[in-house]
Chains A and B, each alone.
Chain A
Amino acid sequence: MALTGVLRPGHVALRVLEMGPALKHYKDVLGLIETARDDKGRVFLKAWDEHDHHSVVLREADEAGMDYMGWKVASVATLKKLATDIEQSGLCTDLGWVPAGEHPTTGERFRFTIPTGHVMELFAEKGIVGNNCGTDGENINPNPWPDGLKGISPSRFDHCLLYGDDLDGTVKLFTEVLGFGVAEQVMAGEDKSFMIGAFLTCSNKAHDVAFIRQPVKGKFHHASFELGSWEKVLHAGDVLSRNHTSIDIGPTRHGITRGETIYFFDPSGNRNEVFSGGYIYYPDRPTITWWDVELGPAIFYHDRKLNEAFLSVFT
């Protein structure tokens, strides 16, 4: 197996102010599929082409934002090894194990807080529910997509963009301990040596998580979901307008990662993105560098400037 260690983003746990409107948004407008609720009132959802039990966890709370992001690793042995590596790196705080079953069908998770203040988890096991495409049994003679999809219906939870202060510490952790590559970076300062943005990948994707340096701890900019084409991004815009969803910007294109995108807000003010495109990343691909003076086109390639909300609106 060429892809080892951390495989991909496994879940994102979001706080919502009111569960009713949140579910209408995430199920009927975004088009995720509910797979479970637990006795704490949390709701577990997945995108249609994900085989694992859930990728989005919603919890009603007094404030919006992200509780944590979880990463699936290749095996239980990998989980143990990475937990030890993280501990020995000294880069993280609040390390601990969340027992198996705390998320439905999910094995034990190693939880830690990274230098930018975000809570992250690694896990190796989660129940497989499939993508409902098989015609003669699960994964046998499948159709390309299942019946009964709703709303925008992205294929998967793809990445998060997060805001925090100690970007250097977080990048060190992801690259030196967790084995991520830096696909793209944004550099500031006279000699362009001060990193203000990092787009990190553990896979063939242009990014699996991104961080932007801001003087805050543990803040959430957006959770993103994948669509197959630019036309589906336009269709997403139609679905959002039809449902009077608060749209931030787009459809447009990012310079960074080249993704075609639309940003919008859930009913608690948490930003979502659906996007398509990008490129294939291999570990030998040179890192792309953007200078801060070109941050406008780096983020929104057509407008060539940030919108007012990009730096100031987060949860």
Chain B
Amino acid sequence: MHFVVTIENTGETFRCGEEDNVLQAMEQLQRRGIPVGCRNGGCGVCKVQVSEGSYTKRKMSRAVISADEEASGCVLACKIYPQSDLRVEVVGKMARAIVAKKSMSFDFGFATATAINQPDEEK
């Protein structure tokens, strides 16, 4: 069974099977929008807020998703499997421009790391 995932920030849509996690489906179809990190629920860069639809999920690192966030649909795209069409908003604050600059300022790295690698209430 396949469902349609919509990334609200960009309007990008892609198909995702119920056996596939949302991040993996996006990558396989060469789509963009959700930042890709470890792909395994540990780093938190693929954090999204699900605004519509249902899904099953697998274990996510509590260091990056708090129990409250998880309960309110703020989850890791690499650990959710659609059970219906989904609308998601990218909420990890990773700036995609980071690697495009040859001489990147290190402060930028600091800000990026702070923004994305903690559950929201710790920021």
Q: Is the beta-carbon distance between B37 and A313 smaller than 8 angstroms?
A: yes
Q: Decide if A166 is an interface residue (CB 8 Å cutoff).
A: no
Q: Is the beta-carbon distance between A246 and B63 smaller than 8 angstroms?
A: no
Q: Is the beta-carbon distance between A313 and B112 smaller than 8 angstroms?
A: no
Q: Is the beta-carbon distance between B99 and A269 smaller than 8 angstroms?
A: no
Q: Is the beta-carbon distance between B96 and A308 smaller than 8 angstroms?
A: yes
Chain A proximity mask over B36-75: 1 for CB below 8 Å, otherwise 0: 1111111101000000000000011111100000000000
Q: Decide if B103 is an interface residue (CB 8 Å cutoff).
A: yes
Q: Which of A196, A269, A309 contacts B106 (CB 8 A)?
A: A196
Q: Is the beta-carbon distance between B113 and A163 smaller than 8 angstroms?
A: yes
B36 partner residues in chain A, CB cutoff 8 A: 308-309
A293 to chain B, nearest CB (A): 4
Q: Is the beta-carbon distance between B40 and A269 smaller than 8 angstroms?
A: yes
Q: How far is the CA of A214 from the CA of B109 in the complex (A)?
A: 8
Which residue of B has the minimal Cβ distance to A18? B59
Task: Give the most central of A307, A312, A313, A314: most B CB within 10 Å.
Answer: A312
Q: Is the beta-carbon distance between B37 and A269 smaller than 8 angstroms?
A: yes
Q: Which of B38, B62, B117 contacts A219 (CB 8 A)?
A: B117
A-B contact count (CB 8 A): 112
Q: Is the beta-carbon distance between B116 and A295 smaller than 8 angstroms?
A: no
B67 to chain A, nearest CB (A): 9
Q: How far is the CA of A305 from the CA of B37 in the complex (A)?
A: 17
Q: Is the beta-carbon distance between B116 and A312 smaller than 8 angstroms?
A: yes
Q: Is the beta-carbon distance between A308 and B99 smaller than 8 angstroms?
A: yes
Given contacts A246-B38, A309-B37, A311-B112, contact A269 B117 (CB under 8 A): no
Q: Is the beta-carbon distance between A63 and B104 smaller than 8 angstroms?
A: no
A307 partner residues in chain B, CB cutoff 8 A: 99
A51 to chain B, nearest CB (A): 31
A207 to chain B, nearest CB (A): 20
Q: Is the beta-carbon distance between A65 and B113 smaller than 8 angstroms?
A: no
Q: How far is the CA of A296 from the CA of B42 in the complex (A)?
A: 25
B100 to chain A, nearest CB (A): 8
A71 to chain B, nearest CB (A): 25
Q: Decide if A185 is an interface residue (CB 8 Å cutoff).
A: no
Assuming A219-B117, A311-B109, A313-B43, what are 4 further A-B pairs, CB within 8 angstroms? A188-B106, A268-B41, A269-B43, A315-B63
Residues of A whose CB lies within 8 Å of any CB of B are: 17-18, 62-65, 163, 188, 196, 213-216, 219, 246, 248, 265-271, 292-293, 295-296, 304-309, 311-315
Residues of B whose CB lies within 8 Å of any CB of A are: 35-43, 45, 59-64, 94, 96, 98-99, 102-104, 106, 109-110, 112-114, 116-117
Question: What are 8 A-to-B residue pairs whose CB atoms are below 8 Å?
Answer: A64-B41, A64-B61, A309-B38, A311-B112, A312-B45, A312-B112, A312-B113, A314-B113
